[in-house]
Homo-oligomer: A and B are copies of this chain.
Amino acid sequence: MEVVSTIDQVRERIKQWGNEGKTIGFVPTMGYLHEGHGSLIQKAGENDKVVVSIFVNPMQFGPNEDLANYPRDFEKDKIYCESLGVDLIFHPDPKEMYSERFCTYVDMSILTEELCGKSRPVHFRGVCTVVSKLFHIVQPDRAYFGQKDAQQLAIIKQMVEDLNIDVEVIGCPIIRERDGLAKSSRNTYLNKEERVAALVLSQAVKIGEELVLNGEKDATLIKETMIAKIESEPLAKIDYVKIVDGLTMQPVERIEKTVLAALAVYIGKTRLIDNFIFEI
């Protein structure tokens, strides 16, 4: 496994692989890798070569968000990647990614306006910009994103379609702890009591999903049942609970096509997300 920190180094390796006719699978991450990332990396093994980027992207953090405190452990990440057969880690410095004269942004309307986009107004501009940069640097055949960040996945798919980027975007299922909590680097922020309280997210998701699977079509009723569950937990504070069109991320009233039921909840000071997709 090779670890590089400059764009030129990635380009050199990528060109070589291109000349050898190798396919490239790419997993962009912010590091502090867990089994959720691991599942993406394993899936990316369907390509000849696997590239993982580890970059805590300043542009996708708002001014009052957790950029400085975002958990980092590059040595552990390296060992984990090695164990999963990763071929190349790209671990750039922010200065390598954003020059002093940087002033270009990839922006999106509609899909970014609900859910996390509402609570985190600059977030998806940062995500789109950095992912488009990473796609240009790594030039993968396929890129892998977790369904846990469902809105991000929908946005990346839309960006790739709109800008005609020549990459296949593949979404992978949410990986959960044994008790149901969706794996997330931010789970590390939780103290013991909060860790127990955080179960309310996956429990609310499960309740909502069961209602839908049993044929319930009324989005408001489903949402309110999920909200009631979350509100039963004193440490939980709802940011949003929403049921939206799976493509446009716009709220729906009835379950009539593919929908995303998504929630963001503060457990203490930690903001966690979870969701389910119901495909029609």
Taking Cβ atoms with an 8 Å cutoff, the residues of A that contact B are: 7, 11, 99, 101-111, 128-129, 132-133, 136-137, 139, 158-159, 161-166, 247-248
CB distance A163 to B132 under 8 Å?
A: yes
What residues of B have a CB within 8 angstroms of the CB of A107 in the complex? 104-107
CB distance B164 to A133 under 8 Å?
A: yes
CB distance B105 to A166 under 8 Å?
A: no
Within 8 Å by CB of A104, from B102, B103, B106, B166, lies B106
Identical chains bound together, number: 2
CB distance A102 to B136 under 8 Å?
A: no
What residues of B have a CB within 8 angstroms of the CB of A158 in the complex? 101, 103-104
CB distance A109 to B101 under 8 Å?
A: no
Within 8 Å by CB of A137, from B11, B137, B164, lies B164
What residues of B have a CB within 8 angstroms of the CB of A248 in the complex? 101
CB distance A111 to B103 under 8 Å?
A: yes
CB distance A163 to B101 under 8 Å?
A: no
> What are the 9 closest A-B residue pairs judged by CB atoms, nearest first?
A104-B162, A136-B164, A103-B110, A103-B109, A105-B107, A137-B164, A104-B108, A104-B159, A133-B164
